[in-house]
Amino acid sequence: PHLRMFNEEFQTCKVEGAWALVDNKHLTVQVTNDPVINSGDATATSKLTVIIKKNEDCASSQFITYTAQTGHLPGSFSLGQTHYGPERSVEVIEKEPGKSVVIYLRYIDTTIKVQQIGRYFTFAIKMPEGVLNSSEISDKLELCVQGCPINERINYKQYFSEVQRTNKHSKMALSKALKMCRDASVVDFYFDSCVFDLLTTGDENFTAAAYQAWQDLIELNPELRQTQDNRTELPIVPSSAS
């Protein structure tokens, strides 16, 4: 999957299996990434678990769990409740049944957005800086904080170059992928990711996922400005155009 870290760095990773995105004294978010059907090595997020830690005053005297799995994006927490704490201090809001939910934790002003597009999930979180730095153990792995381990990272530029040179391993023609992603109006890292995903899987749902991830970013922080260039566009010229 593609990761936008809290420090605004972008990475594309393998990270197959279960990984923690966030793990601090208030909450843990864990994802499970599985191989994408019929696409070789590509992996995408098929399960997501949010654990809101015990907070007697503002959440619950027990852990609160939310779990989404492919084909099941519930509109409530695991015990069936949609809110906890005084004045709905913790709340899950179903934006679009089975497709989009938002979890809001008022006492730490944290918003989590989970969407299912095709078989896989997109995840976005917005959190105050002070809360984000509340990890009890400083060296535990949180993908959103430290990023993916080096051996899990994918050099997509190298991948694009190989596709351009050999046209091997590609599930879709580069020219078609570039056109689809341009038509989807995604930009910057999200454009690169869109092209990468189409080349590796041929699954057009990933175009929508890239667009949605970009929209989530803007929705959660309307003032955010993306400054990166369309990196895919610069080094690669589709063979048909050349």
Partner 1 sequence: CDIVHCQTLFSSAKDAEKSTEIKKLAALQRESPRCISLRTYIDCLVKQKRFCHSDITFNGNLAGLKAKMNRHKCSADPEASIFDPETMQVTGPRPPSVDRMCSYSGKPIYKQCGLFGD
Q: Which is nearer to partner 1, 62 or 239 (CB)?
A: 62
213 binds partner 1 (CB under 8 A): yes
Residues 51-70 that bind partner 1 (CB under 8 A): 57-58
In our burial notation (b when 16+ CB lie closer than 10 A, e otherwise), range 80-107 reads eeeebbeeebbbbeeeeeeebbbbbbbe
**C-alpha span between 133 and 194 (Å, rounded):** 31
The contact pattern for partner 1, residues 137-166, with x = CB under 8 A and - = no contact, is ------xx----------------------
**C-alpha span between 125 and 213 (Å, rounded):** 11
Among 39, 49, 78, 82, binds partner 1 (CB under 8 A): 39
Q: Which two tokens mark 214?
A: 């970009």
Q: Which two tokens mark 228?
A: 């990166």
Inter-axis angle of helices 174-183 and 188-201, to 10 degrees? 140
The count of residues interacting with partner 1 (CB under 8 A) is 58
**C-alpha span between 86 and 59 (Å, rounded):** 8
**C-alpha span between 138 and 47 (Å, rounded):** 26
202 binds partner 1 (CB under 8 A): no
Residue 150, φ and ψ in degrees, nearest 5? -55, -40
109 binds partner 1 (CB under 8 A): yes
How far is CA 228 from each of CA 8, 50, 68, 179, 232, rounded to the nearest angstrom?
11, 30, 32, 20, 11
Q: Which two tokens mark 121?
A: 């999930």
The contact pattern for partner 1, residues 9-28, with x = CB under 8 A and - = no contact, is ------------xx------
Q: Please, what is the minimum distance in Å from the beta carbon of residue 103 to partner 1?
A: 14
Among 24, 32, 193, 232, binds partner 1 (CB under 8 A): 193
126 binds partner 1 (CB under 8 A): yes
Residue 23's Cβ-count burial label (10 Å; 0-12, 13-18, 19+) is buried
Among 68, 163, 210, 236, binds partner 1 (CB under 8 A): 210
Q: Please, what is the minimum distance in Å from the beta carbon of residue 146 to partner 1?
A: 11
131 binds partner 1 (CB under 8 A): yes
Among 24, 32, 100, 201, binds partner 1 (CB under 8 A): 201
CB 214 within 8 A of CB 190: yes
Q: Please, what is the minimum distance in Å from the beta carbon of residue 242 to partner 1?
A: 27
184 binds partner 1 (CB under 8 A): no
Which residues contribute to the site for partner 1 (CB under 8 A)? 1-7, 21-22, 31, 36, 39, 42-45, 57-58, 85-87, 89, 106-109, 120-132, 143-144, 193-194, 196-197, 200-201, 203, 206, 209-210, 212-213, 216-217, 220-221, 224
